[in-house]
Amino acid sequence: MIALTVVLAALVGISLGLLGGGGSILMVPLLTYVAGMDAKQAIATSLLVVGVTSTVSTVSHARAGRVQWRSGLLFGAAGMAGAYAGGRLGHLLPGSLLLIAFAVMMIASAVAMLRRRRTPVTPAPAPHRTPIGKALTLGAAVGLLTGIIGAGGGFIVVPTLALLAGLTMPVAVGTSLLVIAMNALAGLAGQVTTLSVDWKMAAIVTAAAVVGSLVGARLTARVDADVLRAAFGWFVLVMASVILAEQVHPVVGIAVAGLTVAAGGYRYACSRFTWCPLNRLWSRAAAAT
């Protein structure tokens, strides 16, 4: 199982390198169901993997000039306080509840990936000074979530930075990796005060994920990131349905899986055929209003 865990961790790292984020959402299920860790140990180990991998990615983005240090450090400083508090709070919550919360986070992350579209080339927005109050509040909230459930929350951080600081998307992505690294390492510090971590396994998984992320970064020019992101989003939804089936009730998991299949079928049909019933209904409703 260790060999399988290492291989899957490398694949998660490759997805991180290709997509610039989102892959870490699979690390907790991987550590729980493949490596055999309990939920709390898996979350702590995931924070280490996310923190180190994001740090490595931040360095490469910084060399390319895609990190806005002022906004990132301001947002990340507030996030670190929230993440540390979340790490301390996590041990008070039942493991099953943490996995259910993580499944909800997976669904939100998958929806964000599936809704993402190629953005047309437009003039870059004018950067502006980040509102300190909003940055501190939102940073602390994202950090708290990171510390509790072990996910980086890049799908929240990127648009928040783009809106707060007027950053272009490439700079927002690079800056978000700095924020995620700070949050994850602070969350890990909060977690290790209350539980023990298998550091040997954590180091092996982290190394595999980092190597995978470097490989993924080199494959970006050869792979259609939008197609991969969509496929990855659907896979994350399926994994979320499995977790909900085990932690809540099989009926809940089946319901989420059924909705996933229905949504996938609708999206496929509407991408293949010009006439789509639901699109026509929505256009009529919009015209009526």
pLDDT, one tens digit per residue, over 23-37 is 567 788 888 888 888
Distance (Å, whole) CA 260 – CA 253: 11
Distance (Å, whole) CA 204 – CA 71: 33
For residue 34, what are the CA distances in angstroms to 5, 8, 62, 200? 6, 9, 34, 16
Distance (Å, whole) CA 165 – CA 73: 12
Distance (Å, whole) CA 15 – CA 23: 5
Q: What is the pLDDT of residue 119?
A: 46
Cα dihedral sign for 37, 42, 45, 50? positive
Q: What is the pLDDT of residue 288?
A: 47
pLDDT, one tens digit per residue, over 259-270 is 888 887 777 777
Helices 154-165 & 69-90 angle (0-180, nearest 10): 140
pLDDT, one tens digit per residue, over 178-232 is 888 888 888 888 888 777 788 888 899 999 988 888 887 777 667 676 676 677 7
Question: Average pLDDT in the 138-153 region?
Answer: 75
Other C-beta atoms lying within 10 Å of the C-beta of residue 80: 24
Amino acid at 196: S
Query: Is the model's pTM score more than 0.75?
Result: no
| pLDDT band of 236, cuts 50, 70, 90 | confident
| pLDDT band of 282, cuts 50, 70, 90 | very low
How high is the mean pLDDT of the chain? Answer: 76
